[in-house]
A and B are shown apart, each in its own frame.
Chain A
Amino acid sequence: MAKGETKLIDEKGNRRDGRKWDQLRPIKLQVGLVKNADGSAYIEWGKNKIMAAVYGPKEVHPKHQVLADRALLRCRYHMAPFSVDERKNPAPSRREIEISKVMREALEPAVVVGDYPRTAIEVWVEVLQSDGGSRVAGITAASLALADAGINMRDLVVGCSCGMINGQVVADLDDTEDKEGDGDMPVAILPNLGLVSLLQVDGVYSREKFQKAFELAIQKGKEVYGMQREALNARFFGGEAKVTQVEEVAE
């Protein structure tokens, strides 16, 4: 069925998976799973399964890329060939190259790069299974991995994507809602500083709906930030990582 025509939300305001318009999918975060990495984090967000790992600060190779006054932050967002329905060519696509760039630009404002001159900090984000909103889930995990690596940071970075399905603003689109809906708006924020470090928009939004989706993404991002804190707590102080639950819809 063509974009915009599939019924993604019913008269009662229930989405296909039973969520209300402003509900997130279940999220699970775990910190410190990649043994060799200086820091790592794993996120399950809906059907997304994403591992992020950080190496550094380390020596910069090739040397001509050295920055005299700060660390060079490198970031790669990559999708495994088996992460989607049709096998994805493992070579980096134009989409992945763009996402790697905006992801780096979303994370860098939170990293105190000036504390590590002449070094490289590498962030590797591997999407093992993809289900819509993978860039914001990747950023959420990557900032935890940076914190786990003990890199000095001004804040965590947390992402959430909002958008429109059947002309209605909703939070956290899954794969089908992204493909058959009317638009997607990934947003990443530095929650304590109240700043936005990633904003991309597609789909047609009136000025009102643009603001509604944007503000919803910020609000939902703050919700995910609470889970990020708990995941760090669980890693360092033995607390319990919280998992959000979605209520089942009555048949």
Chain B
Amino acid sequence: MSMKNYVVETIRKAQMVQLLAAGKRLDERALDQPRELKVETGVIPKANGSARVTLGNTEVIAGVKVATGIPFPDTPDKGILMVNGEILPMSSPYAEAGPPSPEAIELARVVDRGVRESKMIALEDLSLIPGKTVISVFCDFNVMNVDGNLFDAVSYAVVAALKTAKMKKFKVKDDKVEVTEEVVPVPVKKTPVSVTFARIGERLVVDPSAEEEASMDMRITITTEDGGNVCATQKGEASTITPTQVLEAADIAIRVGKDIRARILEATK
């Protein structure tokens, strides 16, 4: 989805930049303050786990499906994790049906990286018959409404859906996989939290709205895990960032991520 035709009036953009110079934003948030986050879980009972997240007016639904699958040749004794999704054509006048755009692919891969690299899912616990059968965990997301910062909204929805996912226990008998009636949680160890910044003028703002995204020249997403360690980062847009600003963003992401993690933990208890 390309937002390049999204119009922000010149006068509004000028006001935005002027306010930012004084450390203020159009919607009166502090520069490091995300919009209101709502996390609802179990919204799709047919899924193994699901969540509906709203971040301001951005809305995302994520659902987890568990199945058995063939392991990748280089990780024969590990389960499979896949994060994928679609920016639905209904979600914005700028979204289109059809094959995923590079932007949508980047979105899914950055969210996947945060989940994977934080070692959120204990993939080693998802092996059934090494080299032959493992458990696959698919987490798919649907972006329902776009109002900026899809990276964080999708990430929170995916994490909340995975954290609440339950599956039927598999057991191996005579080299065959059988499904039991016992229900167990998907083995989750961590709660990765991404924090995305937009740079407008010289200032970094957390959780950019659609009009802020339309005015930014650089985007950076930093994902941290429970220990406050950085586990994924992605700089975006055709622009540069100074090394000092990268480290500044990392410090803010660790601090803000902690508060958001508490919200997600509360909602997925």
> B-contacting residues of A (Cβ < 8 Å)?
2, 73, 86, 94-95, 97-98, 100-102, 104-105, 108-109, 179, 183, 185, 190, 193-207, 210-211, 214-215, 218
Cβ contact within 8 Å between A210 and B109: no
Q: Could you show 8 A-B contacts with beta carbons less than 8 Å apart?
A: A183-B117, A195-B241, A196-B235, A199-B234, A205-B229, A207-B229, A210-B230, A214-B243
Bound together, the chains give a CA A95 to CA B225 distance in angstroms of: 24
Q: Give B202-243 as 1s and 0s: 1 = Cβ < 8 Å from A's Cβ atoms.
A: 000000000000000000101001011111111111111111
B119 within 8 A of A: yes
Bound together, the chains give a CA A194 to CA B244 distance in angstroms of: 10
B125 within 8 A of A: no
Q: Which residues of A contact B102 (CB under 8 A)?
A: 97-98, 100-101
Bound together, the chains give a CA A210 to CA B117 distance in angstroms of: 14
Given contacts A199-B233, A200-B235, A204-B225, contact A101 B106 (CB under 8 A): yes
Cβ contact within 8 Å between B232 and A202: yes
Given contacts A101-B106, A204-B119, A210-B250, contact A196 B240 (CB under 8 A): yes
Cβ contact within 8 Å between A218 and B243: yes
Q: Which residues of B contact A179 (CB under 8 A)?
A: 74
Cβ contact within 8 Å between A196 and B106: no
Min Cβ gap B242→A in Å is: 6
Bound together, the chains give a CA A185 to CA B235 distance in angstroms of: 12
Of A104, A199, A200, A210, which contacts B241 at CB under 8 A? A199
Cβ contact within 8 Å between B237 and A105: yes
Bound together, the chains give a CA A198 to CA B227 distance in angstroms of: 26
B105 within 8 A of A: yes
Cβ contact within 8 Å between B239 and A109: yes
Q: Which residues of B contact A193 (CB under 8 A)?
A: 240
B247 within 8 A of A: yes
Of B124, B222, B250, which contacts A2 at CB under 8 A? B124
Bound together, the chains give a CA A218 to CA B119 distance in angstroms of: 27
Bound together, the chains give a CA A101 to CA B103 distance in angstroms of: 8
B139 within 8 A of A: no
Of B229, B237, B246, which contacts A196 at CB under 8 A? B246
Cβ contact within 8 Å between B240 and A190: yes
Q: Which residues of A contact B228 (CB under 8 A)?
A: 206-207
Bound together, the chains give a CA A109 to CA B239 distance in angstroms of: 5
B113 within 8 A of A: yes
Min Cβ gap B233→A in Å is: 4
Min Cβ gap A206→B in Å is: 5
Q: Which residues of B contact A2 (CB under 8 A)?
A: 75, 77-78, 124
Cβ contact within 8 Å between B242 and A196: yes
Cβ contact within 8 Å between B240 and A109: yes
Q: Which residues of B contact A204 (CB under 8 A)?
A: 117-119, 225, 227, 229-231
B55 within 8 A of A: no
Cβ contact within 8 Å between A215 and B243: yes
Cβ contact within 8 Å between A95 and B109: yes
Bound together, the chains give a CA A157 to CA B2 distance in angstroms of: 26
Q: Which residues of B contact A197 (CB under 8 A)?
A: 235, 239-241
- In the A-B complex, the 9 residue pairs with the smallest Cβ-Cβ separation, listed nearest first, are A201-B233, A195-B240, A108-B238, A199-B235, A202-B117, A101-B102, A105-B238, A210-B230, A197-B240
Of A73, A109, A185, A196, which contacts B243 at CB under 8 A? A196
Min Cβ gap B82→A in Å is: 11
Bound together, the chains give a CA A118 to CA B234 distance in angstroms of: 30
Q: Which residues of A contact B254 (CB under 8 A)?
A: 207
Additional pairs, 10, CB under 8 Å, beyond known A94-B109, A97-B105, A179-B74: A2-B77, A101-B105, A105-B236, A109-B239, A194-B242, A194-B243, A197-B240, A198-B235, A201-B230, A201-B232
Bound together, the chains give a CA A196 to CA B73 distance in angstroms of: 36
Min Cβ gap B25→A in Å is: 25
Bound together, the chains give a CA A216 to CA B229 distance in angstroms of: 18
Cβ contact within 8 Å between A200 and B233: yes
Bound together, the chains give a CA A56 to CA B117 distance in angstroms of: 39
Of B74, B231, B246, which contacts A203 at CB under 8 A? B231
